[in-house]
Structure 1
Amino acid sequence: MSTSPPAAAPRDPAITLEAGQTVKVTRPTARFMLAHPAHLIALGFGSGLSPVSPGTVGTLYGWLSFVVLSLWIEPTTWLWIIGAGFLIGLWACARTARDMGVHDHGSMVWDEIIAFWLVLTFVTPTGLWGQFAAFLWFRLFDIAKPAPIAYYDRTLKGPGLRGAFGVMFDDIFAAFYTLLVFALWRSF
């Protein structure tokens, strides 16, 4: 008989937490994204995993998906999809923020996708250059966060659904400013 201890089982690199413990995920992986449907949605089906400018990549994904899906979806149906997507985003962002230990991690890009779908719904019909201008204006407002976007970005962030609402809401404001620019441009 051997007196040596049994060989340790290979360790799974995944982190297992006990109730009440938290961990801060600084850079999510594909494994993290695929671990829960909320992660997949919040990380924009992988577009948020970009190591460079995930918000911009997420917005580009939103643009591409809008153009492709619009081949089958009527413009008025988009409003229902955006409304449902906003509500799903509250759940997905709250769950992902909790699992990451960060209230509004840059890789969570579902908010950019939903907000840019809203922009594209209201600027349609427009050509490629009009959509590109909408993309540039939206990214400018999302990054610069003019008032009151910065205020809501600071005050509504936090844990749970309230924090998830803050994540989603500041991008809706950026969409509003983008649509305001288009309304002014079209009025001349």
Structure 2
Amino acid sequence: MNRAPASIWRRPVHFLAFGLGSGAAPFAPGTFGTLAAIPFYWLMSTLPLGTYLAILAVATIIGIYLCDRTSKDLGVHDHSGIVWDEFVGYWLTMAAVPFSWQSALWGFVIFRVFDVIKPWPVRTVDRRVAGGFGIMADDVLAGVYAWSVMHVWLWLH
């Protein structure tokens, strides 16, 4: 585990990349980052789907920059505290899912499982794609897997 640098509290890019500080958790920063994304999903879930998807696209593009810049500044590719990618992966998981605490928590669990086990091609992207794009891409792919499971779950219920 990489210790969170003091710069996350001083540099806005690092603060955002560290998920508003949630990535500074002393253990399981990815889990804490995903948890920190839930209130934002709750707020975004009331938006029209097109607006939600536009925010998701902008957050992804901005995330590539945030993760790349912070990774370079820290000299560590994909520092464990960089969790903006978890925010985006979770929001993707929850796209077009009506808000309920049950669905929010179910989405949290499903996304974390895919993010941790990294099924093909997530693991390949995680290992072979560098920079901010690589940091973001594996979580976006995990989010696609989790989104698929969420929508099957919704369809069955």
| 1:114, distance to aligned residue in structure 2 (A) | 1.1
Q: CA deviation at 1:88?
A: 0.9
Aligned to 1:177: 145
> Does 2:2 correspond to 1:34?
no
Q: 1:126, CA displacement in angstroms?
A: 4.3
2: CA distance between counterparts of 1:69 and 1:121?
9
Larger helix share, 1 or 2: 2
What is the aligned partner in structure 2 of residue 114 from structure 1?
88
Indicate if the aligned counterparts of 1:42 and 1:109 stay in contact, CA closer than 8 A: yes
Superposition deviation, residue 128 in structure 1:
1.5
Bigger RCO (CA 8 Å, 6+ sep): 2
After superposition, give the CA deviation of every residue in 1:157-188 in whole Å (9 maximum; x if it has no partner): 3xxxxx11010010111111111212333444
1:105 aligns with 2:73: no
Change in Cα spacing, 1:187 to 1:121, as seen in structure 2 (3 Å) is closer
Shift of 1:90: 1.1
For the pair 1:142 / 2:115, whether they are aligned, the reply is yes
CA distance in 1, matches of 2:113, 2:10: 32
How much is the aligned-residue C-alpha RMSD, in angstroms?
A: 1.6
| TM score, norm. by length of structure 1 | 0.76
Q: Percent identity, aligned pairs only?
A: 37
Shift of 1:70: 4.3
Task: Give SS of 1:132's match.
Answer: helix
Distance 1:81 1:152, change over 3 A: same
Q: 1:184 to 1:68 in 2, by over 3 A?
A: closer
Over 3 Å counting, the alpha-carbon distance change for 1:43 and 1:64 in structure 2 is same
Where does 1:1-188 land on structure 2 (aligned, <5 Å)? 26-29=2-5, 31-70=6-45, 73-123=47-97, 125-157=98-130, 163-188=131-156
Cα distance in 1 for residues equivalent to 2:41 and 2:107 = 13
**Deviating 4+ runs (over 4 angstroms):** none
Which sections of structure 2, spanning at least 5 residues, go unmatched?
none
* 1:42–1:133 Cα change, 3 Å: same
Number of paired residues? 155
CA deviation after TM superposition for structure 1 residue 144, in Å: 0.5
Shift of residue 131, structure 1, vs aligned partner: 1.9
One-letter amino acid of the structure 2 residue matched with residue 183 of structure 1? H
